[in-house]
Amino acid sequence: MNGSTPPQLPLRSPKVMLIGAGMTGILMTIKLREAGITDITILEKKESLGGTWRENTYPGLACDVPSHMYTYSFEPNPEWSHLCAYGSEIREYFERVGRKYGVTEKILFNEAVTRSIYGKGQWTVTSSKGNTYVADFIINCTGILHHPAKPDIKGIETFGGDMFHTAEWNHTVDLTGKRVGVIGTGSTAAQVIPEVAKAAGKLSVFQRTPQWIFPWANKTVSEKSKKKLRDNPNRVRRLRGLYVWMMANLLTKATAGHQPQRAILSAVCQLNLKLSIKDKSLRKKLTPDYAVGCKRLIVNKTFYKAVQRNNVDLVTEGIAEITPKGIKTRDGKEHELDALVLSTGFHNFNFMRPMDMRGKGGLKIDDAWSKKVQAYRSMFLPNFPNSFLMLGPNSPIGNYSVIAMSEVQCAYILKIIGHWQQGEFDEIDVKPSAFKSFNEYLKAGMSKTVWVGGCQSWYLDDDGDPALWPYTWQQWEKEMKEPKMADFITEKFPPKTEKTTKKNEVSAAA
């Protein structure tokens, strides 16, 4: 027996809590199960899965990433009806995947997390239903854009017509023939405005900042093309690979400071504006004064046509106040409206908040992020051990697919949990020094990016620092291949005895 390999101890089975059943929650559930981890609790605050694609139902809603790229790598979809899928179809895709992989039946719907408190290797989670759960790991799959931001405009509460945010679209309101106002001209507005313009009697678009638009027509995928993809799965994989290559080598490199790609992108957007808008005064209103890509690039082929319709008025004078009858601009003119649509974005730095999350020593997440919202590798916060944040600060990569980002993060998390399963630690926390150096590394890369090109955007935090990844997609993938365990503090706790368990129970009761 001398020299023989010692017997392997069985892997420990962790209790994992997933918060949110959107795209990342579905993905994490599937991949945790594939790794043999089955003690999973999934809490979802709403009545169904889908996240962003459940929340948003506004007219014209579509993805701005090619459909065949905006899928899980393990679950291609040959049935997409358009080059960039519409919202309802994307939601159906996630619902189908949820059912196929048995995720849906495991989700606890209409149960939000109100509090999560850490203590010695475990999280105690309290839900809106008053239920308590204990988990070895907590994974926040709460997404980025899910808390609508309402504009702080004088008199907004006095408006007498119908008013709603694009993420809270009121489908009972018929806009046909009405005087409608839309505040905002970002990605969402660029999809909403062409649809509203078709129905409204008069549409007033209130623009604060013009946007650069990349002309990409959302073409219909023919039944013949779908059949070819359906009959030959390799075609779907190749098509997905083509879009991945295009996004990784053109768009993300352009925003990360690669001059040839940036020059091409700028030329295309500038030419699109010139060719699409014939009226010089209107073109001037629609011409940004910042670099292409500084704000999230709009991928659209219908917005410029819409703002040139006879029933559409592009208003750039600036909003002074909202009145019971409509909007008064700074030139003193009152624009009378029957309905007002707020396309004013989201509180994108909320992440898992307003959850009451407390780490080591009772540290509250609001206090940890009081000065700046930062993380290590977008996922880890010092003093919040055994906790991961999917798509956290600095994870968005230009206009790249968040599904692809989540798959990379998921694999990384599973490797961390794998070390726990082998008994290497009970608690894992990022070192403050690693947290600091990583964020310095991010800041050093920002100076070369297009996001510091002189614009205000939802990419920027309160200090004006972009909360994105400043390097290429390829660099991000490379750095996320393996966790640097030297960047973490790990700890093993003595096994719980019957005596300590009873002592803890008495303390909890007290």
User: Which domains are delineated in the chain?
Assistant: 16-147+348-504 (3.50.50.60), 156-342 (3.50.50.60)
Taking the CA atoms of residue 368, residue 450, residue 69 and residue 43 in that order, the dihedral angle to the nearest 10 degrees is 10
* pLDDT, tens only, 409-423: 999 999 999 999 999
Please determine, for residue 399, whether its predicted confidence score (pLDDT) is greater than 80. no
296 versus 26: which is more confidently predicted? 26
What is the mean predicted confidence (pLDDT) over 399-403? Answer: 84
- Residue 500 pLDDT exceeds 70: no
Between strands 488-491 and 427-430, the pairing is antiparallel
Q: How far apart are CA 170 and CA 57, in angstroms?
A: 9
Residue entry with tokens 């002309």: 215
Q: What is the pLDDT of residue 459?
A: 66
Amino acid letter, residue 42: I
d(CA 87, CA 166): 13
Q: How far is CA 29 from CA 36, 94, 107, 187, 287, in A?
A: 11, 13, 10, 30, 45
- Cα angle value 271/272/275 (rounded, 5°): 80
The answer to whether residue 5 scores a pLDDT higher than 70 is: no
Indicate if the pLDDT at residue 504 is higher than 70.
no
Residue 439 or 501, more confident: 439
Nearest-Å Rg of the Cα atoms of the chain is 25
For residues 497, 500, 501 and 504, what is the CA-based torsion angle, rounded to 10 degrees?
Answer: -160
pLDDT of res. 394? 85
pLDDT tens for 295-352 read 888 999 999 999 999 999 999 999 999 999 999 999 999 999 999 999 998 777 777 8
Confidence of residue 144 (pLDDT cuts 50, 70, 90): confident
Of residues 23, 75, 15, the one with CA closest to residue 44 = 23
Asked if pLDDT for residue 145 goes beyond 80, the answer is: no
DSSP class of residue 162?
E
The two structure tokens encoding residue 97:
């995947």
For residue 98, give both structure tokens. 């949820």
Rounded-to-integer distance, Cα 450 and Cα 257, Å: 6
Q: What is the DSSP letter of 8?
A: P
How much of the chain is in helix, strand and coil states, percent to nearest 5?
Answer: 35, 20, 45
CA atoms within 13 A on the CB side of 277: 24
Q: Which residue has the higher pLDDT, 13 or 4?
A: 13
The per-residue pLDDT for 505 is 39
Question: What are the b/e assignments for 126-145, b being 16+ CB within 10 Å?
Answer: bbeeeeebebbbbbbbbbbb
E strand map for 215-348: 298-299, 312-315, 319-322, 326-329, 334-336, 339-342
**HSE-up (13 A, CA, CB side) for residue 290:** 19
Which of 195, 182, 194 lies closest to 335 in space, CA to CA? 182
Q: How many residues does the chain have?
A: 510
Does 219 score more than 80 pLDDT? yes
Sign, Cα dihedral of 246, 252, 258, 261: positive
**Does 457 score more than 80 pLDDT?**
no
Q: What percent of the chain has pLDDT over 90?
A: 73
* Tokens representing residue 445 in the block: 């890369």
Q: Where residue 449 falls among pLDDT bands split at 50, 70, 90?
A: confident
Quote the pLDDT of residue 244.
86
By CB atoms closer than 10 A (0-12, 13-18, 19+), residue 352 is buried
Confidence bin at 509 (pLDDT 50/70/90): very low
- CA 439 vs CA 258, 352, 372, 450: distances in Å: 22, 20, 11, 18
Whether the CB-CB separation of 268 and 420 falls below 8 Å is answered with: no
Instruction: Output the pLDDT for position 497.
Output: 59
Query: 38-42, 70-74, 225-229, 464-468: which has the minimum mean pLDDT?
Result: 464-468
The predicted-structure confidence for 117-140, as pLDDT tens digits, reads as follows: 999 999 999 999 999 999 999 999
In which band, very low, low, confident or very high, does the pLDDT at 502 lie, cut at 50, 70 and 90?
very low
The answer to whether the pTM exceeds 0.85 is: yes
Q: Show Cβ contacts of residue 196 under 8 Å, excluding neighbours closer than 6 positions.
A: 59, 175, 180, 182, 203, 341
Cβ(52)–Cβ(146) under 8 Å?
Answer: yes
| Among 300, 404, 390, 405, CA closest to 352 | 390
Confidence check: pLDDT of 396 > 80: no
Give which of 87, 271, 67, 346 is closest to 195, Cα–Cα. 87
Positive/negative CA dihedral, 94, 169, 58, 268:
negative
Residue 15 and residue 458: Cα distance in Å, rounded?
A: 35
HEC assignment per residue over 391-453? CCCCCCCCCCCHHHHHHHHHHHHHHHHHHHHCCCCCEEEECHHHHHHHHHHHHHHHCCCHHHC
Mean pLDDT of the chain: 90
